Structure 1
Amino acid sequence: MRAMTIILASATAVSMFATAASAQQNMTGTITKIDRLNSTISIQQTQSGTVGAGSGAIQEFKVQDTNKLEPFHAGDKVNFSAAEGGGTKTITDLKKQ
């Protein structure tokens, strides 16, 4: 019984680590909308893959510091990282390409 508990705890820890690691991946995309009043930014993620791959869905992200949005405009291509917590996706890093 104790061995089974250890195995289940290990499996849970590995799955949580994999989820956290994937949440912090660097992604690329194009800014489609910036709402400075509500501290949100919408980004259409670029799909990786073969030539001719389409663009991803547009996702809206929260930005903790609105001042970080000043140099950005709709249409800018960006590299970004985001984290999800409490059902809200938040930009953790945003840079122009």
Structure 2
Amino acid sequence: MRTTTIILAGATALGIFATAASAQQNMTGTITKIDRLNGTISIQQTQSGTVGAGSGAIQEFKVTDTNKLEPFHAGDKVNFSASEGGSTKTITDLKKQ
């Protein structure tokens, strides 16, 4: 009984860790729109995988510090990380490629 409890607790902890690790993945994409007044940025993610794969859907992200958007423009290719809290996706890291 105790061994089963330990195994289940370990499996649960591993599942929680894997979810947290995937919550902030490094992604690449192209900026399609920047709204500096509302602190949002829209990015079309680059699809990973085989040659000839199309582009991903355009997603809008919140930016906590709008001053960080100054060097960026629509059309820039970027590497970024984002976190999701509730229904809001927030950029945590943004760099030009």
- The alignment's TM-score, normalised by the length of structure 2, stands at 0.90
Question: How far is 1:26 from its partner?
Answer: 1.0
Question: How far is 1:93 from its partner?
Answer: 0.4
Task: Write out aligned runs for 1:1-97 (5 A).
Answer: 1-97=1-97
Question: How far is 1:5 from its partner?
Answer: 3.3
Question: How far is 1:2 from its partner?
Answer: 3.8
- The alignment's TM-score, normalised by the length of structure 1, stands at 0.90
Question: How far is 1:61 from its partner?
Answer: 0.7
Provide the C-alpha distance between the structure 2 equivalents of 1:60 and 1:4, rounded to a whole number of angstroms: 44
Q: Which amino acid aligns with 2:24?
A: Q
Q: In percent, how many aligned pairs have the same letter?
A: 90
Q: Runs of 4+ in structure 1 displaced over 4 angstroms?
A: none
Question: How far is 1:49 from its partner?
Answer: 1.0
> What is the count of residue pairs matched by the alignment?
97
Question: How far is 1:92 from its partner?
Answer: 0.6
C-alpha deviations, 1:46-86, integer Å up to 9, x for none?
01111100111111111010000011111110000111122
**Structure 2 unmatched runs, 5+:** none
Provide the C-alpha distance between the structure 2 equivalents of 1:87 and 1:8, rounded to a whole number of angstroms: 30
Provide the C-alpha distance between the structure 2 equivalents of 1:38 and 1:5, rounded to a whole number of angstroms: 49
